[in-house]
């Protein structure tokens, strides 16, 4: 997999997708997010900073409702901002932290 990145430009309020070797004129306010190499249930590329719906699931002891979590890069791996038992292909991207931060609560 080639490394791909998503650039959020607050000045233009839009994203650019780039890969290693591409040239891009970065601004101090631009935010770089890495593509996880995974896709959601709608075949959209999941990037750091995306907000995803995690489907409801059950364990022996608990029932968990559907929840919205952030995709973050932490300790050299991608993970969600909360505890969830899921398969990445079951997730659904519903926004990102730059344009839709209101989709998650302050703890998410």
Does the pLDDT value for residue 93 go beyond 80?
yes
Q: What is the pLDDT of residues 43-72, one digit of tens each?
A: 998 888 899 988 877 666 666 776 788 888
Mean pLDDT across the chain: 76
Is the alpha carbon torsion for 36, 37, 39, 45 positive or negative? positive
**Which pTM was predicted?**
0.69
Does the pLDDT value for residue 38 go beyond 80?
yes
Does the pLDDT value for residue 107 go beyond 50?
no
Per the model's pLDDT, the better-predicted residue between 56 and 90 turns out to be 90
pLDDT at 41: 92
Q: Which of 12-16, 19-23, 80-84 has the lowest mean pLDDT?
A: 12-16
Q: What is the pLDDT of residues 70-85, one digit of tens each?
A: 888 887 778 888 766 6
Whole-Å CA distances, 40 to 9, 59, 107: 23, 23, 23
Instruction: Give bridge partners of residue 96 from the DSSP assignment.
Output: 50
Does the pLDDT value for residue 19 go beyond 90?
no
């Amino acid at each position: 997999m080639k490394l791909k990145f998503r650039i959020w430009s607050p000045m233009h309020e839009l994203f650019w997708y780039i890969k290693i070797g591409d040239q891009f004129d970065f601004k101090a306010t631009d935010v770089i997010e890495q593509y996880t190499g995974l896709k959601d249930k709608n075949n959209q590329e999941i990037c750091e900073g995306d907000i995803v719906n995690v489907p409801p699931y059950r364990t022996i002891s608990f029932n968990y409702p559907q929840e919205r979590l952030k995709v973050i890069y932490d300790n050299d791996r991608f993970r969600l901002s909360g505890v969830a038992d899921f398969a990445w292909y079951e997730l659904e991207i519903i926004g990102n932290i730059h344009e839709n931060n209101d989709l998650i609560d302050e703890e998410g």
